[in-house]
Amino acid sequence: MQTTKTVDLGDPDLYTTLDRHARWREHAAEDAMVWSEPGSSPTGFWSVFSHRACAAVLGPNAPFTSEYGMMIGFDRDHPDTSGGQMMVVSEQDQHRKLRKLVGPLLSRAAAKKLSDRVRTEVSGVLDRVLDGEVCDVAAEIGPRIPAAVVCDILGVPAEDQDMLIDLTNHAFGGEDALFDGMTPRQAHTEILVYFDELIGARRASPGDDLVSTLLTDDELSIDDVVLNCDNVLIGGNETTRHAITGAVHAFATVPGLLDQVRDGGADVDTVVDEVLRWTSPAMHVLRVTTGDVTINGRDLPPGTPVVAWLPAANRDPAVFDDPDTFRPGRKPNRHIAFGHGMHHCLGSALARIELAVVLREVAERVSRVDLVAEPAWLRAIVVQGYRELPVRFIGR
Ligand code: HEM
């Protein structure tokens, strides 16, 4: 169905309450196509919401590119300067080459090896918070685990990890507060400077980490190496932290879930997929048309930016029964929380293993998760995430 409404869907104030789901559901059910006037983006953009339309925009042979950028604000006339260099905003040969190089470091086998690290992190966090004061999961648990895992993948030496984890938390915390006198943007720049040093160290003494792997390709410039370390850093941290926080939110609010995970009544891998669908931390992805395209009956010329809203697709009533309800045994579960098509998340196996370990460890050691207050949501458009989730963990 063709719908033209004029509202700037890139306004982060629209997403700070759960009303966002009602709006998304309405748009998905209508299979709407909404135009946003220039505002959050310089030239405006179209939005799609239904599972069908989002999959069509992101699909393997769709006439769309991410090379101009994959977030609201970029388009053909205002391209992302990382386009053609960083995996998520490159296409064709560069994209294929980067996936081939980086893929093995994030594969299921590599992820399994990292699961001990995840277990140690979760267990350390639970030691601190069990039967204790109120714990803000969004600050104390969600961020720590993915940051530690990404440090291992990058090959950050043990002595630098706490510093990098702190910087990462600040850079991707989604808040504007200062940390060590730095804004989140400055913290991110500090990380990029650190990557430069790490590259120097790995050049002198290579290991089996991401930096060393990227350095094996002579065609990649130092800039390419830094950008692709950053891609894994952002991809691994920004979203996973909210999925982990959401898993604890589900434990606190879905009756019987803790017991079912502990006693095998629920299949953990199936629960993981429901956490991913229900939380959908990647809120949108943008593409630009590469030729004449018809979407939802509307003809779009080349160079048109189109945004797919993943949480809307993941609660599309045409695909998911009772979409707002967390169903531990939901099957099939064709969510597109990891995107779809050529850029489908390369870290999906790792994210799934992180979530499975969190679910198992919490269920093993905790008898109840009490929600102390309703969650507060981030004021953001790139990630759908938790600003605060205060709970009490009651041990077994
Ligand atoms: C790509 C979501 C975890 C690394 C993507 C995309 C989505 C996504 C939607 C596609 C972007 C696009 O189409 O433009 C998620 C979610 C995660 C998660 C929801 C956790 C719950 C991770 C982790 C890593 C990672 C743990 C690595 C440590 C990447 C990379 C890409 C990517 C490298 C680019 C793939 C490509 O362009 O071919 N992710 N991600 N992600 N993700 Fe993830």
pLDDT by residue for the chain (396 residues), tens digit each? 445 556 899 999 999 999 999 999 999 999 999 999 999 999 999 999 999 999 999 999 899 999 999 999 999 999 999 999 999 999 999 999 999 999 999 999 888 888 998 999 899 989 999 988 999 999 888 888 998 999 999 999 989 988 888 888 777 766 545 555 678 788 889 999 999 999 999 999 999 999 999 999 999 999 999 999 999 998 998 899 999 999 999 999 999 999 999 999 999 999 999 999 999 999 999 999 999 999 999 999 999 999 999 999 999 999 999 999 999 999 999 999 999 999 999 999 999 999 999 999 999 999 999 999 999 999 889 899 999 999 999 999
313 CB within 6 A, ligand 1: no
The whole-number pLDDT of residue 167 equals 86
**Checking phi first, is residue 296 left (phi over 0); if not, alpha (psi -120 to 50) or beta?**
left
Q: Return the best residue to mutate from 99, 214, 287, 345 for the ligand 1 pocket (most ligand atoms within 8 A of CB).
A: 345
Query: Ligand 1 pocket, 347 CB below 6 A?
Result: yes
Closest atom of ligand 1 to 281 CA is 19
**Minimal-distance CA residue to ligand 1 atom 28:** 236
The finding on whether 351 has its CB within 6 A of some atom of ligand 1 is: yes
For residue 113, the CA-to-ligand 1 centroid distance in Å is 19
366 HSE (CA, 13 A, CB side): 31
Q: What is the pTM of this model?
A: 0.95
337 C-alpha to center of ligand 1: Å?
A: 9
For ligand 1, whether the C-beta of 323 sits within 6 Å is no
| pLDDT given at position 366 | 97
Q: Separation of 353 CA from ligand 1 center, angstroms?
A: 14
Q: What is the pLDDT of residue 182?
A: 74
ipTM of the complex: 1.00
What pLDDT is recorded for position 369? 97
Predicted pLDDT at 124: 92
Output the residue whose Cα is nearest ligand 1's atom 39: 345
How far is the C-alpha of 123 from the C-alpha of 358, rounded, in Å? 9
CB-based burial of residue 197 (10 Å sphere; 0-12 exposed, 13-18 middle, 19+ buried)? Answer: exposed
Element spanning 295, H or E: strand 293-295
Cα–ligand 1 centroid distance for 239 (angstroms): 8
Check residue 187 and give its pLDDT. 84
User: Would the CB of 338 count as within 6 Å of ligand 1?
Assistant: yes
Q: Is 136 helix (H, G, I), strand (E, B) or coil?
A: strand
